[in-house]
Structure 1
Amino acid sequence: MHRRRRTALVLSAAIVAAAPLLTACGNDAHPGAAAVVGDQRITVAQLETRVNEVRRAQRAAVPDETQYEQVVASTSSLTRDTLHNMVLDRVLHRAAQDQGITVTRKEIQEMRTGLVQQAGSSAALETAWLQKYGVAPERLDENLRLQVEARKLAQKLGTDTSQPAFWKALSTASGELHVDLNPRYGSWDVQKSSRVDAKTPWVREVTTSGTQQTAA
């Protein structure tokens, strides 16, 4: 549907007047929640855990204090982007479920093997995913599951992840789940399955790469 910009898993979005913004959470109905997606709560503590995982990995990869500060500055939207990823993961999973799609451990491993071959080693792949996409090493397989799921959903729909049919499926799933975002992290655009202030990209770039590697 629309062009993606930079990082992994997060769909770029612009505010569209016709697109309904969902009710903010983190209020009396959802105390302590960063977001509510269907019947699942993403707590602020869970979000902070994810962000801390990335920061620890960045710190380990960049021991120089000045360079680390530069990395932190360049990823200043990490908390919001991480929450968006967590929400979008659930939206995509619902869209895949609606189409009867499942992902096996073997499929994830096949994608990882192809990407490791391209990167040169598991460590190099983990570093690349951390630097390019803000994915901590311990979350890499979860991220690859998302890529496989997106690819299979697009194939089932007879399209690819850049086309309207794919994003329409995510929009439908987003509406079904009634995504409820804490206002401190932005508002959710149900038609685009995205945070309305999101400035970072999403799965298309990674899925395309993963598809190529799997087929190689």
Structure 2
Amino acid sequence: MHRRRRTALLLTAAIAAAAPLLTACGSDAHPGAAAVVGGQRISVAQLENRVNEVRTAQRAAVANDAQYKQAVAQTGSLTRDTLHGMVLDRVLHRAAQDAGVSVTTKEIQQMRSGLEQQVGGSKALETAWLQQYGVAPKRLDDNLRLQLEAQKLAQTLGTDTSKPAFWNALSKASKELKVDLNPRYGAWDVQKSSRVDAKTPWVREVTAQASQGTA
């Protein structure tokens, strides 16, 4: 597997291991919020809009209703998966900020260009991320930024995304942000890191592919 592609997969896989570090109060203290991270609400409406972006893209990418229904069936936990990604995004961003790490638009463009070369163009990359990871085309750059932040954070800490120092930074950020998840969507629990509703399809798939690429 091409080094750039393998690196991208490993970076995304690294985010999967961050999930157990998030904790939630699981209260109803914030009506109308899907989650509260760092005192900022992720509203149910915002979450639903993100989910609708994916569903709209899925419908546009297939030829008929039967194929669309199949795509929906394969991403049945999309709402919880999407919220999981939105929370992880904020936690990692906080950890990166704490470490003085930032990602430029140019760096995102360079990463995207390399991936596009591997899969056959921009449209092919968007389709791949949509089908495999449930990421809407308009959110692709955001996903790449997430991966770049993980990579640069690890480098700044003098470690890599498989080492405790990296996870400790994410744990510290999650505690600072006091993640509060609406019980309707599950809960982040250090002792229950394997909960199904706390996982995302794109993380599961990328983890598997990353393992294959390093075998």
> What range is the shorter-chain TM-score in?
0.7 to 0.9
Higher helix share: 2
Identity of counterpart residues, as a percentage?
A: 71
Deviates more, 1:49-58 or 1:195-204: 195-204
Aligned to 1:212: none
State the 1:163 CA deviation.
2.4
- State the alpha-carbon separation in 2 of the partners of residues 113 and 20 from structure 1: 32
- The CA deviation at 1:21 is 4.7
Structure 1, unaligned stretches of length 5 or more?
A: 210-216
Deviation at 1:64, TM superposition (A): 1.8
Alignment of 1:64-213 (within 5 A): 64-189=64-189, 197-200=197-200, 202=203, 205=206
Residue equivalent to 2:16: 11
The alpha carbon displacement at 1:31 in A equals 1.3
Q: Does 1:30 align with 2:30?
A: yes
Deviations 1:10-30 (A, max 9, x none): 626898xxx8952124x2x31
Compared CA separation, residues 21 and 142, structure 1 to 2 (3 A): closer
C-alpha separation between the residues in 2 aligned to 1:100 and 1:67?
45
Which runs of 5 or more structure 2 residues have no equivalent in the other structure?
1-8, 211-215
Cα offset, 1:177, TM superposition: 0.3
Secondary structure of 1:151 counterpart: helix
Specify the SS of the correspondent of 2:57.
helix
Say if 1:129 and 1:86 are closer, same or farther in 2 by CA, change over 3 A.
same
Task: Name the residue aligned to 1:214.
Answer: none
Q: Counterparts of 2:70 and 2:205 in 1: how far apart (Å)?
A: 27
Normalising by structure 1, we get a TM-score of 0.81
CA distance in 2, matches of 1:182, 1:109: 35
Aligned-partner Cα distance in 2 for 1:71–1:196: 19
- What displacement does 1:119 show? 1.3
How many residue pairs are counted as aligned between the two chains? 199
Residues of 1 paired with 2:14 and 2:64: CA distance?
28
Q: CA RMSD in A?
A: 3.2
Could you tell me which amino acid in structure 2 is paired with residue 116 of structure 1? Answer: E
Distance 1:45 1:188 in 2: 21
User: Normalized against structure 2, the TM-score is what?
Assistant: 0.81
Change (3 A) 1:54 1:204: closer
Cα distance in 2 between the residues matched to 1:89 and 1:188: 15
Q: SS of the counterpart of 1:100?
A: coil
CA gap of 1:14–1:140, structure 2 versus 1, over 3 A, is closer
The letter of the residue matching 1:86 is: M
Are 2:53 and 2:136, in contact at CA under 8 Å, matched by a contact in 1?
yes
CA distance 1:196–1:132, change in 2 (3 Å): closer
AA aligned to 2:24 is L
Amino acid in structure 1 at the alignment position of 2:25: T
Measure, in 1, the Cα distance between the counterparts of 2:38 and 2:97: 14
Is the Cα–Cα contact under 8 Å of residues 22 and 179 in structure 2 kept in the other structure? no
Distance in 2 (alpha carbons) for counterparts of 1:90 and 1:64: 36
Q: Which residue of 2 aligns with 1:57?
A: 57
**C-alpha distance after superposition, 1:146-204 (max 9, x if no partner):** 11111101111222222222112111110110000000111123689997742336399
